[in-house]
Structure 1
């Protein structure tokens, strides 16, 4: 076959086709590569770029924070392409705002000193162990996040400069003690009231509803009677954990694995060292000369820790006499690493060592020799690992066979269940808005509501829920979305209209009582005829949860009046209340601590509003170009 293809490719028609393809690349494909801008910019702010990589880092960081905080609920949101685009754009907007604030901070000359940066790093909990700064952790985290120490200092300087402007704006607005007192007096004020509640049900007897009204309501609220598409899903799952009981691990296998993988249980030699760093700066020769002079004084008997504290440019370790704690082979730069492990005895001092950071003098302060855990110490762990490996291998084999039979026998899950040795389960009917937890995975939801599974009635492919769990599903029953007929919902509409008319009747009756009270009449007898009586409430505050919410809300909208302050309000239950304000009780005397706290919170609110307005003004005046693809 390959020979025939080769021969055919030499014919005139084939050559013509190949020539046309080549031309198409010349004028289209290759041209597009040559003319492509290779755009790596997400946005440009006043001539400064925000790179796509910067946006991606910020996006991933924000997404990770949300997923760790909200779990699977937000993961489903991220499967929505529209939401994903909106979320990414909001992250870009935040980066643009930060860039604008940074530019303004630099424009007005805000600066951060080296000492401020050092103190900030030392006090960052991320770099601390047991509450104290740890240089190893600091360097390790920087490497993990792609930073060199100098790069991180520059990054931190930018962040702190931006924060300077933010704090400056924050302290430029404040709340006066009088404002705090006024807010407190309003928040802590209580009120006395009397009220009654008219039960709408007692007015329902006269609430007649005609067929025309029912039809009119149905027509006006037709979308409210739309049903959601529903499915009943049958499914089979397979888990690595389920297979662990089906595999065995022998002692010989454990011993063999231990012999072949002893390096995993070997702890490298650790050496504790201290160092003195002289940064290269603009004059490498002078820096090296200084390092050699310091080495000479140490060799002549000077205390290494004292020399480090007074001279080392690594200010973090210098505070501890140059101590870097324990290191293992390969942890530090090659030249530094080689020098450390060339030292023979505790107390030995190296020659001057050159690295990318500058010139080092290193002393060995302690040695922890190499160690190896015994087979007995690690046998249980090895057994678990081998059992997991065997179960995983079986898992992939069964998964492959499940995929084959799900495709070959598409109209049921019997064969799939037999291979997995798991039961076929069903969810019962559910809508997309109420997915049962057992099938609530983005890919599963996408498949079970797909036309292929619904219309063709076939099994899904094997769906990977995670590395250790898979599922095969099929739609057993499907109820399409539809609009319920009038006959189906007539009873509900009738009840709703009756309730509405009953509330309207109760409201009209309560308004009559309100008018009677306004004229100076008593209504006690009228209330008694309805089996209603006044209720009193004293010292009601705004957060009261014992009274109906609308009663409390209405009570605090009433203004004191010599003629009586009253109002009729509709309750969420469908009943009606008449509320009368009887007294306004002043807030108790506030202590200075509480008042200061209110003043601080009020000032913070003012400051945030000011900051938001300031950033908005910067955006309005800025030259911002956003990549159309973002």
Structure 2
């Protein structure tokens, strides 16, 4: 049962981010309970909302419901409510859910069991080709039972989810985004731009920069801890190579070849683990060949471990005080059983050894500063000149810069053959015709661009009606979320929330 959900974790949105968020909320609660001076009982009051007491058991039950709804019901309603008010996690986050439940009751939002069941059956997690998959539903019920939720409790979770959706609708459903704002968004997203770019190459300023020996020494003294040699490790290992040309052999021969290698590996590991024999002794007994490497660092492995990143990582992950004589790891080319024979600790590098590296760092810093200064000064001069009615070509020439023409750029589909077209389109959309854009850093800091926009045109599209409708729906959804958030915060302020001193 659980294996089904694990195999389909993508479909159920079981994401690392979600796990971290929920863990953060529950960590605060756990710390509250654990840091008390006496044993906390499930019946102890944890917090009070609108004059109603909620016990430790209530909070724990709610926490499990949040996890279940997010992981297995593919619903984020509960977690979204918990995140509305600023919080570092803990009881104050769960208080939001109790506030929401009070508001639902106050506004007469009481989802029925039938509504909850209907919503449950429509969950994507339980659908197969648009229809309810009974076997999945049964597995979900079994999973819920394993977490302490019977059928009625599962429906209660769905009632919360349906109720929270209705609560949002009561507050915001009638709101629709301004057609003007939607039209502006449409125009910004689907215009075609014409213009030119001015490129400020970092390398140009790097060539003009100078660094003194005093500056290099000062930087070294302030950052010497970052200039140490890499730890190096030497290993002895036995390599069990995967059979070659398996695809050319009959199935039985393929399986036998793979089985033979597995048997050799297992027999060798038994000697080094169960019988505690050294790598050399185990190799002698099994007639395997022991290979050795000189000390190497993690970023420069020897030829034998080339492209074997998992093997190299395991070699350097091995604890220095490990009591196990050997480690085994599967690589791309086969199995490796190894022991670390030598460890060379990192050593402080002398200034002379890293002088060129530091010089390059300082040149890069000075180049970045000079490039940024040049861009800001050029943009200001160009903006003032354009405002005064001067031509962009004359202004660029006076600044001793180069104006490079750009092809037409469709904001919705920037041409891939134009370098940095996506970044250019984003800034051009925010720049008025006849104006110069903000600085656009590109190619990981290798250059900065200024974009001059000479024209914009909103061309007809066969799907313009659908696109405009989608824009309105998207903006409306975003603004509704903000409205609900503002409204809920106001309700939260009047909820008279207090937290018990547990302990």
The TM-score normalised by the length of structure 1 is 0.49
Relative to 1, partners in 2 of residues 1:597 and 1:624: Cα closer, same or farther, differing over 3 Å?
farther
Q: Distance in 2 between matches of 1:226 and 1:628?
A: 50
The alignment of Structure 1 onto Structure 2 pairs a total of residues equal to: 409
The corresponding residue for 1:540 is 409
Report 1:188-207 matches (<5 A).
188-197=190-199, 199=201, 201=203, 206-207=208-209
Q: Distance in 2 between matches of 1:568 and 1:140?
A: 55
The corresponding residue for 1:480 is 345
State whether residues 117 and 153 of structure 1, in contact with CA within 8 Å, keep that contact through their aligned partners in structure 2.
yes
Write out per-residue CA displacement over residues 2-44 of structure 1, whole angstroms, 9 at most, x where no aligned residue.
xxxxxxxxxxxxxxxxxxxxxxxxxxxxxxxxx7445588964
Mean Cα displacement is larger for which, 488-497 or 572-581?
A: 572-581
The corresponding residue for 1:161 is 163
The alpha-carbon deviation at position 110 of structure 1 amounts to: 1.0
The alpha-carbon deviation at position 600 of structure 1 amounts to: 0.7
The corresponding residue for 1:120 is 119
Report 1:152-301 matches (<5 A).
152-197=154-199, 199=201, 201=203, 206-222=208-224, 225=227, 229=231, 231=233
Q: Distance in 2 between matches of 1:522 and 1:616?
A: 50
State whether residues 567 and 580 of structure 1, in contact with CA within 8 Å, keep that contact through their aligned partners in structure 2.
no
Relative to 1, partners in 2 of residues 1:505 and 1:445: Cα closer, same or farther, differing over 3 Å?
closer
1:597 matched to 2:467: no
Secondary structure of 1:116's aligned partner: helix
State whether residues 185 and 586 of structure 1, in contact with CA within 8 Å, keep that contact through their aligned partners in structure 2.
yes
Secondary structure of 1:608's aligned partner: helix
Match of 2:455 among 571, 579, 583: 583
State whether residues 40 and 502 of structure 2, in contact with CA within 8 Å, keep that contact through their aligned partners in structure 1.
no
Secondary structure of 1:452's aligned partner: coil
Q: Distance in 2 between matches of 1:394 and 1:602?
A: 63
Q: Distance in 2 between matches of 1:553 and 1:140?
A: 47
Q: Distance in 2 between matches of 1:464 and 1:581?
A: 57
The corresponding residue for 2:280 is 414
Q: Distance in 2 between matches of 1:61 and 1:435?
A: 41
Q: Distance in 1 between matches of 2:44 and 2:271?
A: 46
Q: Distance in 2 between matches of 1:101 and 1:489?
A: 60
Secondary structure of 2:176's aligned partner: coil
State whether residues 311 and 336 of structure 2, in contact with CA within 8 Å, keep that contact through their aligned partners in structure 1.
no
Write out per-residue CA displacement over residues 67-91 of structure 1, whole angstroms, 9 at most, x where no aligned residue.
xxxxxxxxxxxxxxxxxxxxxx869
State whether residues 236 and 416 of structure 1, in contact with CA within 8 Å, keep that contact through their aligned partners in structure 2.
no
Relative to 1, partners in 2 of residues 1:524 and 1:227: Cα closer, same or farther, differing over 3 Å?
farther
Write out per-residue CA displacement over residues 126-154 of structure 1, whole angstroms, 9 at most, x where no aligned residue.
56677655667645642453154444334
Relative to 1, partners in 2 of residues 1:525 and 1:36: Cα closer, same or farther, differing over 3 Å?
closer
Report 1:312-323 matches (<5 A).
none
Greater C-alpha Rg:
1
State whether residues 503 and 575 of structure 1, in contact with CA within 8 Å, keep that contact through their aligned partners in structure 2.
no
State whether residues 43 and 625 of structure 1, in contact with CA within 8 Å, keep that contact through their aligned partners in structure 2.
yes
1:494 matched to 2:368: no
Q: Distance in 2 between matches of 1:415 and 1:65?
A: 55
The corresponding residue for 1:296 is none
1:610 matched to 2:467: no
Mean Cα displacement is larger for which, 544-553 or 113-122?
A: 544-553
The corresponding residue for 1:103 is 102
1:623 matched to 2:492: no
Q: Distance in 2 between matches of 1:426 and 1:95?
A: 58
Q: Distance in 1 between matches of 2:289 and 2:94?
A: 51
Q: Structure 1: 5+ residue runs without aligned partners?
A: 1-34, 67-88, 243-379
Secondary structure of 1:174's aligned partner: coil
Relative to 1, partners in 2 of residues 1:60 and 1:553: Cα closer, same or farther, differing over 3 Å?
closer
Relative to 1, partners in 2 of residues 1:533 and 1:157: Cα closer, same or farther, differing over 3 Å?
closer
The corresponding residue for 2:297 is 429
Secondary structure of 1:145's aligned partner: helix
Q: Distance in 1 between matches of 2:212 and 2:39?
A: 70
Write out per-residue CA displacement over residues 214-253 of structure 1, whole angstroms, 9 at most, x where no aligned residue.
2233345556546665656666799xx99xxxxxxxxxxx
State whether residues 514 and 568 of structure 1, in contact with CA within 8 Å, keep that contact through their aligned partners in structure 2.
no
State whether residues 417 and 424 of structure 1, in contact with CA within 8 Å, keep that contact through their aligned partners in structure 2.
yes
Write out per-residue CA displacement over residues 258-279 of structure 1, whole angstroms, 9 at most, x where no aligned residue.
xxxxxxxxxxxxxxxxxxxxxx
Q: Distance in 1 between matches of 2:446 and 2:130?
A: 58
The corresponding residue for 1:403 is 273
Relative to 1, partners in 2 of residues 1:594 and 1:126: Cα closer, same or farther, differing over 3 Å?
closer
Q: Distance in 2 between matches of 1:133 and 1:569?
A: 50
Secondary structure of 1:489's aligned partner: helix
Q: Distance in 1 between matches of 2:73 and 2:157?
A: 21
State whether residues 55 and 91 of structure 1, in contact with CA within 8 Å, keep that contact through their aligned partners in structure 2.
no
The TM-score normalised by the length of structure 2 is 0.59
Relative to 1, partners in 2 of residues 1:136 and 1:541: Cα closer, same or farther, differing over 3 Å?
closer
The corresponding residue for 2:9 is none
Q: Distance in 2 between matches of 1:438 and 1:65?
A: 39
Relative to 1, partners in 2 of residues 1:567 and 1:494: Cα closer, same or farther, differing over 3 Å?
same
Q: Distance in 2 between matches of 1:420 and 1:38?
A: 60
Q: Distance in 2 between matches of 1:395 and 1:200?
A: 54
State whether residues 235 and 338 of structure 2, in contact with CA within 8 Å, keep that contact through their aligned partners in structure 1.
yes
CA-atom RMSD, angstroms?
5.6
The alpha-carbon deviation at position 103 of structure 1 amounts to: 3.4
State whether residues 190 and 539 of structure 1, in contact with CA within 8 Å, keep that contact through their aligned partners in structure 2.
yes
